[in-house]
Amino acid sequence: MRKLFGTDGIRGTANAEPMTAETVLRLAVAAGRHFTRGDHRHLVVIGKDTRLSGYMIEPALTAGFISVGMDVVLLGPLPTPAVAMLTRSLRADLGVVISASHNPYADNGIKLFGPDGYKLSDAIEAEIERNMENGAAVLAAPERLGRARRLDDAQGRYIEFVKATFPKGLTLDGLKVVVDCANGAAYKVAPTVLWELGAEVIPLGVDPDGFNINKECGATHPDALQSQVVAHGADLGIALDGDADRLLMVDEAGRVIDGDQLMALIARSWAEAGRLAGGCVVGTVMSNLGFERFLGGLGLRLDRAPVGDRYVLELMRTHGCNLGGEQSGHIILSDYATTGDGLIAALQVLAVLVRSKKRISEVAHVYEKLPQLLKNVRVNGGAALDAPQVQAAIREAEAHLGAGGRLVIRKSGTEPVIRVMAEGENADLVGRVVDRLVDAIARAARH
């Protein structure tokens, strides 16, 4: 069982356990112990987003890795998928991202990538935790200590990598695009990619100050993007989150296009071109039933994974699929990347738009979403779910929704909340079911 690692690495309030400099240093020593195997000179790459606490966590990680004989390459602020790409490109033994993704600035986290650029398995994360607990690290002799250096062209390498995924012969000439970088890791690279491919770019969320990451901006708060797209008469808007592994888009009328809709658009395009592998798309238990029915109409299936992009990727690899993701906007295109990449996914959508010569509102709203409602209940732990009154409320909710609906209740792996989602044909019924369950869980959590 893992205690520190959740669905997407380790996450918590900065300068409180487990996100303290001391624990982070121990993590680096323990991870280094696992990945320093063989006689070659070992290498770890470290990227981060724009949170103030990154200045504390980055040197603590660096010290830990150097102490076990690993060289460290510091990438600076860079999207999570860029770190995964550079882990492979630089033939590193380990890649590290310092980020709490879509969380507010007061939180931070650590994501680890193996030498293949994929997030670590549960088993490896559990072994790293055991290494931390037993404290039996073998520190390097003085002459075997690692060295640290900065990679000055890290952003340029990633920019060229992303541009190469856009189909040759196409450009974004004539498109006016608003891009919201959430004051996060993509604040330099995202506008540059779009401009160099030909778009007129209106940037938002590109003034990070250590405190404003994800604050009323980005993929989790698209209101500002929606209003700016309309105000500027733009063709579309692109919203990334703090570490740029998540994407939402906005059409010219300011309507949000979520991850399920974007995957549906890409799936149809790739299927028509004979590019879609495995005859399926991998979503999660949160993916809308309308999405599943749309794929069925194309002769494709939706395979559902637990929430978390690494679980999506595991199922993609098992079923031989090259497209998967989450409604929240993590979209994995495994022909190009080993993890969710908001910029690469946006370019695939833009390629469909350019080829069709239509407005995004005409091509992106490809199916009718079934009424779906998600609410969070803030709790300490998940014991409230086991309360008899909560279990009774769940059974009652399932009976009301019937065979045509779905109910998903789960503990978040990234925040201290329980997520309650219901879906069905009747929006009023869905709303009543969710409200009753939220109330039951909240009451149980107080007692």
Task: Give the residue numbers marked as catalytic.
Answer: 101
Structural contact between residues 370 and 288, judged by C-beta atoms closer than 8 angstroms: yes
Contact 182, 217 (CB under 8 A): yes
Task: Give CA separation, 30 vs 25, 65, 152, in Å.
Answer: 9, 9, 28
Which alpha helices (DSSP H) does 51-121 contain, by range?
Answer: 54-67, 80-89
- Residue 8 DSSP symbol: T
The percent helix, strand, coil of the chain (3-state, each to 5) is: 40, 20, 40
One-character DSSP codes across 162-221: HHTTSPTT---TT-EEEEE-TTSTTTTHHHHHHHHTT-EEEEES----SS-TTTT-STT-
Concatenating the DSSP letter of every residue in 220-285 gives T-THHHHHHHHHHT-SEEEEE-TTS--EEEE-TTS-EE-HHHHHHHHHHHHHHTT---TTEEEEET
Cβ-based neighbour number of residue 39 at 10 Å:
5
Start-end of H helices in 366-413: 388-401
CA distance 341 to 329: 9
Q: What's the CA gap between 45 and 375, in Å, rounded? A: 37
Encode burial over 217-233: b for 16+ CB neighbours within 10 A, e otherwise: bbbbbbebbbebbbeee
Q: In what order do the strands lie in the sheet with 323-325?
A: 301-305, 280-284, 323-325, 331-333
